[in-house]
Structure 1
Amino acid sequence: MSLWRLKSLFLQEILPTWAAVGYDERCGQFVEHLELDGSVQASGEVRTRTVARQIYVHAHAAHLGVAPPASLQMAEAAFAHLHRVAWIGGTRGGYARAFNRHTDSITDPIRDLYDSSCILLALSWLLTATGKDMYRDHIDQALVAIDRTLKDPFGGWAEDSEGSLPRRQNPHMHYLEATLALCENNRTSAHMRAEGRAFALLGSHFLVGPKGPLHEFFGPQWQLSAQYGSDRLEPGHMCEWVWLTTRHDMLTDSDHTRICLDLLSTALAVGRSGGSPFLVDLVSALRPVSPSRRLWPQVEMLKAFLSLYERSGFQGYLAEADDLASAIMGAYMTGAPPGCWHDCLDTHDRPISRTIPASSLYHLWTAVADLVEHDARARVRSPSETS
């Protein structure tokens, strides 16, 4: 199956490539991107969210036993560097949004919910992979910083320490992802409360009406308005919520199947056009407004199909996922440097990326991790060969 060819490609070629080229040994930190020829990023500027996601990938892969030999060591060194350079203490503490890995200087001191959520995800898996209590302490410190620095009177959390507008669902979605990982791996009552608060925002603010599309942009009191770009929708995020909602239901023994089906059907209806199997990046008034199709929405669509297959057992979802995996490898990975991909295509499937961003490594890994865990469950269910 194409799904397992994608898994093999990632584990045998992509992850080892990024472990070798995507990590700067001189400073002990991951890079922001590779150049189009597969060479390392020349500049030292990195976003906190990007390096945090690479820390997560290598820690999670190490825990599952499928990582390159040095992955966990690199993940721990990268977090130590990140914390030393980017942590800002005080009553409104948190991690700076960007820094220069060469000079160890902060280049953007704003504390951002998106970045903070990615750090929580990384810390959850560092704790799980190593069992070291210091990561538990960092998790507690990061949760307190989010609640203090990004407190918002109208629910959820502020976009950043500056209170920037519009407010977005995307950082809250990734906060949910991080708290899900905390609950799945190292559950406490505090983690469960945080996960519950984050998931509740889906029904209270992000979805309007029982079959409403997932909204992205809001005013300061969560109002929808053209002033804040509320007419712009991202099909990839609708698919990502299918995956997260399925995990929430497994954690809490709840059932939001109808929401998942509505989200996926809306994503496919508004995001696919011209007979392409791929989603466009952005739509407005339910029509495509972006000529681009980045890799990550396609991977999130793949995860949505897999989630619904795991939820229902319906073989049609598995077939859709397999067809999509084949299309992704054919369009996004053919002609790219070994271990890399074309990160963005135009509507004629021509590459238009300027770099190979490390952020997409995270999206690919989350799909592959689901396949690795699916295989592990299948082995447990199968009769023992030694019985």
Structure 2
Amino acid sequence: MQRAATRARDWLLNVAAPLWAGRGRTASGLFAERMTLSGVPDATYFRTFVQARHIFSFIEAGKIGWTGPWRALVGETVDTLLTKARRADGFFVHRLTGDAAHLDGRADLYDQAFILLALAKAGEALDRPTLFDEAERLLDLLQAEWAHPLGGFTEGELVDPSVRRQNPHMHLFEAFIALAEASKRQRFMDAAVTIGMLCKAHFIDSETGALLEYFKDDWTPADGLAGRIVEPGHCLEWAWLFETLALFGWADSPGISDHLTHFARSTGICARRRVTINEVLTDGTTHNGNARLWPQTERTKAAVARYRRLGSEEEASEAAAAAAGLDLYLDVVMPGLWRDKLTPEGGWIDELAPGSSLYHISCAYGELARIAL
């Protein structure tokens, strides 16, 4: 695990951060949305949640030692989002142009969750507590306009309202924990615990310990196949978050993490490719054998967090194996970029490198770097 941590830190600080700090950066203060594998930025659109993720990524790089201008970059992008990406009603829009004008003005819960996460991280890193006030205002709006009477939130204006999903709630959970830790405001910890309780009560299949993805309005599983789909990467991401919540004393967290981790590891790792796959069903059979980049980062994060709690050789070995799986995706012609989708046959889908993945990588590499210090 120590060797993996050293490689991770070097890649993030000396390869990825310098590339993404400059290439494709707009005069309006936005980071690149995506690049070709030869490093040419694509300026077709800029999603607000990707900008929020870049804020997170550069703060992570700064925390573990990047000496580049991360504070200036982060501060400029935060201010651009606050002044240009917000609607008159207070919600943040879905997409911007390169000039930071509204390109898709619809509001989505997933986007708002990442804005909250960016405000948490930037408020702490830049010593700007007014950003926590901005987060409170956005939470006020979510609770007033999108709170669901049966728990959680509706998802806004982008997705099918007849299907409820755990995923945006997971990222709210992440944001609320980060806001509680950074601001020390009890309101955010209360919000995090509420989402944790929602997950425990409704998202986790009681028979298998698997995390379900899709639900009806009352949080019962969706009908048919959709109600049996499990993403091992999300099991591990929730496990990591519950490990984090355990540090604040929530007694249920370790047991939930144990169940989620066991299901994901026993059903969701391809022995031949040594990577975490996209989807299985609750009976453990493979539903989608492709393997995206991000589940490899969640496998890494969960193992590191569990190593922090358990100190076991099993978790250290799992963290190293997960990091080795992630390395496959970073083996590209231009260092600092990545592949995103590995097929069941072991080939790569040809597409641009999505900037959204830097958040996943930087979070996993930040966890590895800190455990190795």
Q: The TM-score by the shorter chain falls in which range?
A: over 0.9
**Which amino acid is the alignment partner of residue 13 of structure 1?**
V
Q: Which has the higher mean CA deviation after the structures are superposed, 334-343 or 47-56?
A: 334-343
CA–CA separation in structure 1 for the residues paired with 2:88 and 2:298: 35
Matching residue of 1:53: 53
Q: Deviations 1:53-77 (Å, cap 9, x if unpaired)?
A: 1012223433x25234211111111
CA–CA separation in structure 1 for the residues paired with 2:240 and 2:350: 27
Q: Which has the higher mean CA deviation after the structures are superposed, 353-362 or 1-10?
A: 1-10
After TM superposition, give the deviation of residue 228 of structure 1 in Å.
8.3
Does structure 1 residue 153 correspond to structure 2 residue 153? Answer: no
**Which amino acid is the alignment partner of residue 147 of structure 2?**
K
After TM superposition, give the deviation of residue 304 of structure 1 in Å.
1.1
SS at match of 1:110: coil
Query: Is residue 22–residue 40 contact of structure 1 (8 Å, CA) maintained in 2?
Result: yes
Matching residue of 2:298: 300
SS at match of 1:51: helix
Q: Mind listing any 5+ residue stretches in structure 2 that lack a counterpart?
A: none
**Percent identity between the two aligned chains:** 28
Matching residue of 1:385: none
CA–CA separation in structure 2 for the residues paired with 1:211 and 1:291: 20
After TM superposition, give the deviation of residue 333 of structure 1 in Å.
1.7
Q: Which has the higher mean CA deviation after the structures are superposed, 213-222 or 104-113?
A: 104-113
CA–CA separation in structure 2 for the residues paired with 1:237 and 1:327: 17
After TM superposition, give the deviation of residue 22 of structure 1 in Å.
4.7
Q: Mind listing any 5+ residue stretches in structure 1 that lack a counterpart?
A: 377-387
Describe how 1:1-387 pairs up with structure 2 within 5 A: 1-24=3-26, 26-43=27-44, 45-62=45-62, 64=63, 66-90=65-89, 93-102=90-99, 104-161=100-157, 164-209=161-206, 211-226=208-223, 229-273=226-270, 275-284=272-281, 286-329=284-327, 331-376=328-373
CA–CA separation in structure 1 for the residues paired with 2:250 and 2:196: 14
Compared with structure 1, are the counterparts of its residues 65 and 240 closer, same or farther at alpha carbon in structure 2 (3 Å cutoff)?
A: closer
Query: Is residue 20–residue 32 contact of structure 2 (8 Å, CA) maintained in 1?
Result: no
CA–CA separation in structure 1 for the residues paired with 2:112 and 2:359: 16
After TM superposition, give the deviation of residue 210 of structure 1 in Å.
6.0
**Which amino acid is the alignment partner of residue 78 of structure 1?**
T
Q: Deviations 1:292-322 (Å, cap 9, x if unpaired)?
A: 2111001101111111111101012101211
CA–CA separation in structure 1 for the residues paired with 2:131 and 2:310: 36
TM-score scaled by length of structure 1: 0.90
Matching residue of 1:380: none
SS at match of 1:224: coil
Q: Deviations 1:239-268 (Å, cap 9, x if unpaired)?
A: 101110000010125253232222112112
Query: Is residue 13–residue 61 contact of structure 2 (8 Å, CA) maintained in 1?
Result: no
TM-score scaled by length of structure 2: 0.93
Query: Is residue 64–residue 370 contact of structure 2 (8 Å, CA) maintained in 1?
Result: no
After TM superposition, give the deviation of residue 184 of structure 1 in Å.
1.4
Aligned residues: 369
Compared with structure 1, are the counterparts of its residues 149 and 97 closer, same or farther at alpha carbon in structure 2 (3 Å cutoff)?
A: farther
Query: Is residue 35–residue 42 contact of structure 2 (8 Å, CA) maintained in 1?
Result: yes
